[in-house]
Amino acid sequence: MTLKEAVKVLILSPFYFKLGLHDRKMLVKDFRTTHTVHSS
């Protein structure tokens, strides 16, 4: 999942905008880690 795709999904949540910049970056990083499909 690209950074752009992750942000598109996360900005749909009103919770995202209540976070500070550092917390948003951490959320995006965690989201991408969780939702990225690795090929073997």
Secondary structure letter of residue 6 according to DSSP:
H
Share of the chain above pLDDT 70, in %: 92
pLDDT range class, residue 1, cuts 50, 70, 90 = confident
pLDDT at 39 over 70: no
Prediction pTM value:
0.79
b/e sequence 2-27, b meaning 16+ C-beta within 10 Å: eeeebeeebeeeeeeeeeeeeebeeb
Task: List C-alpha distances in Å: 6 to 17, 37, 40.
Answer: 14, 13, 22
Q: What is the 3-state secondary structure (H, E, C) of 16-32?
A: HHHCCHHHHHHHHHHHH
User: Does 40 score more than 80 pLDDT?
Assistant: no
Task: Report pLDDT digits (tens) over 14-38.
Answer: 999 999 999 999 999 999 999 887 7
> pLDDT at position 37, please?
78
Q: How many residues can be counted in the chain?
A: 40
